[in-house]
Amino acid sequence: MSKIGIEPVRKLQLIEATLKSIEEYGFQGTTIVTISRLAGMSSGIISHYFGGKQGVIEAAVRHLLDELKNGLLLRIEQASHPSPMDRLMMIVETNFSGFQQSSRASTTWLSFWGQATHDPALARLQAVNNKRLESNLRYSFCQLLADKQKAIEAARMTAAMIDGMWLRSTLSPPQEHGFQESERLCKEFIHLQVDRFGGDK
């Protein structure tokens, strides 16, 4: 395999090893040594590809963000001309998908949220995540509600509902049942907002 082909594979392996390290040791316990050991590579390759621990952790968080984005795009692509309400349901389903329920993803998200309050680079990624979720929700709500301000408010409330219910599900066993119930409640919340602010489903 050429060097061009090897590099993306090695980067992904290091990102996956970073997620596993955070799952096992947390943000603070994750080091270049723990990542390189789990990846089965030398510690120097992390600095070569990512510039150090901070770089590979940021790459791991971006990987989670990409999983969310690509998961939604795939659902939309597989649907046949989804309606605005369909898109809203897909956003909820993506945020409560199996990958987002996994221990590796949930542990990293929890650690990321806690660390973002102290780390400007991670705070920027958190802002991107928040903006993307609200923007996706707002796009569909604006098609359902005549009042743009009400659509913006509905998007903000729904984003908070999704984040809050995901967090509640992650911290409350049994997780699988909790995620299913949270997904149902978020979907119901969206329908209530459309009914409340006036619009056609």
What pLDDT score does 80 carry?
85
- Residue 14 domain flag: no
Question: CB–CB of 89/187 below 8 Å?
Answer: yes
CATH code for the domain of 100: 1.10.357.10
What pLDDT score does 142 carry?
96
- Residue 106 domain flag: yes
- Residue 26 domain flag: no
Question: CB–CB of 165/182 below 8 Å?
Answer: yes
- Residue 45 domain flag: no
Q: Which phi and psi (to 5°) does residue 2 adopt?
A: -70, 165
What pLDDT score does 178 carry?
86
What pLDDT score does 20 carry?
95
- The mean pLDDT values, 10 residues at a time, for the chain of 201 residues are 69 95 92 95 92 93 93 93 96 91 88 90 93 97 95 97 93 78 96 82 44
Tokens of 62: 């971006």
Q: Which of 149, 153, 158 is nearest to 90 (CA)?
A: 158
pLDDT in tens, 99-131: 888 888 889 999 998 889 899 999 999 999 999
Say which residues have a Cβ less than 8 Å from residue 125's Cβ, sequence separation at least 6.
58, 61, 62, 65, 112, 116
- Residue 186 domain flag: yes
Total domains in the fold of the chain: 1
Print the domain residue range for 155. Answer: 57-197
What pLDDT score does 7 carry?
84
- Residue 168 domain flag: yes
Give dist(CA 17, CA 128) in Å, integer. 24
- Residue 72 domain flag: yes
- Residue 34 domain flag: no
